[in-house]
Amino acid sequence: MATDEAERLRAVGLKVTAPRKAVLAALDGHGHLDADTVFERVRGELPTTSLQAVYGVLAALTGAGLLRRIEPAGSPALYERRTGDNHHHLVCTKCHTVADVDCVVGQPPCLEPADAGGFTIHTAEVTFWGLCESCRSEPAA
Amino acid sequence: MATDEAERLRAVGLKVTAPRKAVLAALDGHGHLDADTVFERVRGELPTTSLQAVYGVLAALTGAGLLRRIEPAGSPALYERRTGDNHHHLVCTKCHTVADVDCVVGQPPCLEPADAGGFTIHTAEVTFWGLCESCRSEPAA
DNA sequence: CAAGTTGTTTTGAGTGAATCAAAACAACCG
DNA sequence: CGGTTGTTTTGATTCACTCAAAACAACTTG
């Protein structure tokens, strides 16, 4: 549905613009994209869009809770459509591919530290590092 | 002990140099420092050291297992002396202060994902986000 | 302990990712 | 349809980090 994106934008009180719809569409179904890749996809159907607009849109959508932003060490920031379901990530140490994992144990936020050291915690983020299937079967670097 | 650093360098097969000893010393006791802060501290007692040397040293020591490097979203890379004990981190969403927490549940690596999705996992990294004590008592931004 | 080899540090330039700012523009309200 | 508010474009800039070549210092060997 083409208006699906417009709906979601309105629902969080954001103005409906072509770049915003295009960014939402670009991230649909596909897992984890960096700003540059989103930019390329958006350009495909909306060639006047600038990279800065994409950064602005990604920031707005992340702020509004429509997107989640993750920043695995060694990769540029990645954006994904799954939000609010407290899933976590697997990152390949070789090719930096990212996959989703569902919540590791129990209820969100999944974990409580033994001692919070005076902090008021609101989020727990878990990143698993390892080799993905295709990198494991390739000759070692 | 001034030779303590030299010992540790030799133990992992690295040449003993003044910048390396100074970097190890700069990180002693203090929790989590970025490259620039390490650079400033090293400069204090070894004024000819360049920032690039610090980057090189940090990379060498991290590679040798003498330091651990963490990269919380929104902060430059931080280095710490605790390694191999599988502890995790608390990061303040306001001031980006980092504190240590011990392993959350059971034995290292603390967690196993429900479904590894074909990945061969070797590390689990947990980051807790929240407000530190002093940021909580300050007026909100 | 002097010379050579290897690896480190300096010096200087360059990159990628992201941010900032001002002007042109478009969405939504009435 | 006109005005206000917020978005996007255009262009420059920053920050953290990396690359490369030449000068230099640590450990080894004779």
B62-104 pLDDT per residue, tens: 999 999 999 999 999 999 998 878 789 999 999 999 999 887 6
Nucleotides of C under 7 A from a protein CB: 7-13, 16-21, 26-28
Under the banding of pLDDT at 50, 70 and 90, the label for residue B141 is: very low
Is B112 inside a domain boundary?
yes
Across the beta sheet with A78-80, the strand order is A33-34, A78-80, A68-70
Asked if the model's pLDDT at residue B8 lies above 60, the reply is yes
- Which range marks the domain in which residue B29 is found? 4-70
Q: What is the pLDDT of residue B110?
A: 66
DSSP letter (8 states) at residue A138: S
Mean pLDDT of B103-131: 80
User: Could you tell me if B133 and B93 lie in one domain?
Assistant: yes
Q: For a pLDDT cut of 70, what percent of chain B falls above it?
A: 90
Same domain for B89 and B62: no
Amino acid symbol at A42 = V
- Residue B125 falls within a domain, yes or no? yes
Closest-CA distance, A69 to chain B, in angstroms, reads 9
DSSP character for A139? P
Q: What distances in angstroms separate CA B3 from CA B21, B45, B61, one per listed residue?
A: 9, 16, 17
Are A60 and A115 within one domain?
no
Which pLDDT score, from 0 to 100, does residue B139 have? Answer: 58
The average confidence (pLDDT) of chain A is 89
| Sequence-ordered list of residues with C-beta below 8 angstroms from that of A62, at least 6 positions apart, any chain | A68, A69, A79
Please, which residues have CB within 8 angstroms of residue A130's CB and are 6 or more apart in sequence?
A90, A91, A92, A93, B116, B119, B120, B121, B122, B123
A17 CA, C26 C1': Å apart: 8
pLDDT lower than 50: segments of chain A: 141
Averaged pLDDT score across all residues of chain B: 90
What pTM value is reported for the model? 0.90
d(CA B59, CA B67): 9
